[in-house]
Amino acid sequence: MKYVHVASRASPILGRADYTNAIVRQVGICLFSLISGLNQKRPGLDTLTGVAHEIDDYRSHYLAPYGKQMLVDSGGYSIITGDVVERDISKFTECYHEYQARAVQAYDYIMTLDIPLIIGNDEFNTTQNIYQHNRQSLTATRENLINYPELREKLFFVWQFKTKEHFGIWNRIVSELELNNYVKHRAIGGMVSLRKITQIDFSPFIAIAFRCFLDYETSPDPAHGFRLHLLGINIRYDRFIIAFLEKLFTRYMGGRGKAALTYDSINYSRTAQLKMRYLEIYTFDDHQLSVFRDIPSVPDNILKRVYPDDLFDSIQEEISKIEGLYRVNDSSAFAPLNIFSNNEIDRYFEYIIDQYELIDLLINHKNAINFKNRIRYVFDDLMGKHPYLFTPHLVQSIKKNLDITLDFHHWYVNKRDYKTLNRKIYRFIEKINFPTILT
């Protein structure tokens, strides 16, 4: 499991430290959106040129020298928010696909353009409209996949699933366009607002993750390995189950390769800006997880792992301002440290899944009651060791996620068919209970 950083196009302030390199040190992939080039009153190839140059500059200056990769987001959020008016959606789609094809050498990965709704536009938000616009977009994507074979190694097909109508639309398009014959990598979207609206305390992507894995297994070339990206993730119990699913899917593959699950979030950077005086920083070394209750208590040897030599003096100055309750020079200074801390938590999650043999526990369980009892012992132990991390709420949500995963595991072992899985996904969507937004 790996975190993908959501990159900013903002240039560093002249005369101040540029902390971007310190962020890039912590990640393998950065996500950059086309949004600023397409959320114009009249989107076109001319408006796309500027953001294309920004992507090229960011990739060549920050990523390429360190062997890091670029993932381009379609910018479709501009349609969702209404920044792109309805009459311009077709032009937006055309421009995106022009970039997708013409700039195929300028990025390492790219997301498909998905249009799940326009906020506040009830007339647009019909099942038929959403179907037609997304079929148009994905038909163009399929043409590019046929005409530019190198795109197949770079494209992530984004699923939408928050309502039964959305899942039905995407399921229909996948079938009609036979996308599994062309798509190699998959992604799950629509989760940023989902949890805020529904108030669920389990991970909403588990069911569709199993669908993505089945699509991978039944594709013409499953030997290439399974890649799944989850958009807009930061909650810890989500990340725990992502790590668990990555290991479970790898086990299912039986030595044919490995599953690679990634997630992105802008939360780590924003939290570092807004709550810098209250951040807890975690480290995981020599099989031991440690927590520092605030930034000033983080030792220099940890800071030097995060901040290169030319930034170490700058970050020490910022820390001294926090200690003295002064205004910091740059509120983005602590983003690299918070990203580091959350990456360390992720590594710890992966470690304890192995240490407690949780994958074996799920696969070899005698019955559901036996599984739940064994899981209770594991997390009682972890709550005793790390009460700051394994809070009662976190543990409760992880247990719910593992129960859900166990149910889908039973399907995988006993059925492994689309008809049964799709029924289970519809029932899962009912539990999410997102308000109906398509008529």
What was the pLDDT predicted at 327?
A: 85
* Structure-token match 């959106």, residue found: 33
**Whole-angstrom distance, CA of residue 432 vs CA of residue 134:** 23
Residues 217-245: what's their mean pLDDT?
94
Point out the least confidently predicted range of 215-224, 300-309, 348-357: 215-224
State yes or no: pLDDT of 152 exceeds 80: yes
| Residue pLDDT, tens place only, 271-304 | 999 998 889 999 999 899 999 999 999 999 999 9
Residue 100's closest CA among 34, 43, 158, 41? 34
**CB-count exposure of residue 70 (10 Å: 0-12, 13-18, 19+):** buried
Amino acid letter, residue 111: M
Residue 114's closest CA among 233, 231, 246? 231
Tell me how far apart the terminal alpha carbons of the chain are, to the nearest angstrom: 37
Residue 354's closest CA among 253, 250, 268, 273? 250
Residues 84-108: what's their mean pLDDT?
91
**Angle, alpha carbons 69-74-80 (nearest 5°):** 140
DSSP calls for 320-355: HHHHTTPPPS-TTTTHHHHHHHHHHHHHHHHHHHHH
What was the pLDDT predicted at 217?
A: 95
**Whole-angstrom distance, CA of residue 4 vs CA of residue 187:** 13
State yes or no: pLDDT of 40 exceeds 60: no
Coil vs helix vs strand at 210: helix
CA 284 to chain centre: 22
Which has the higher per-residue pLDDT, 324 or 226?
Answer: 226
Sign of the four-CA dihedral 203, 204, 210, 215: negative
Coil vs helix vs strand at 83: coil
What was the pLDDT predicted at 436?
A: 85
| Residue pLDDT, tens place only, 163-183 | 999 999 999 999 999 999 999
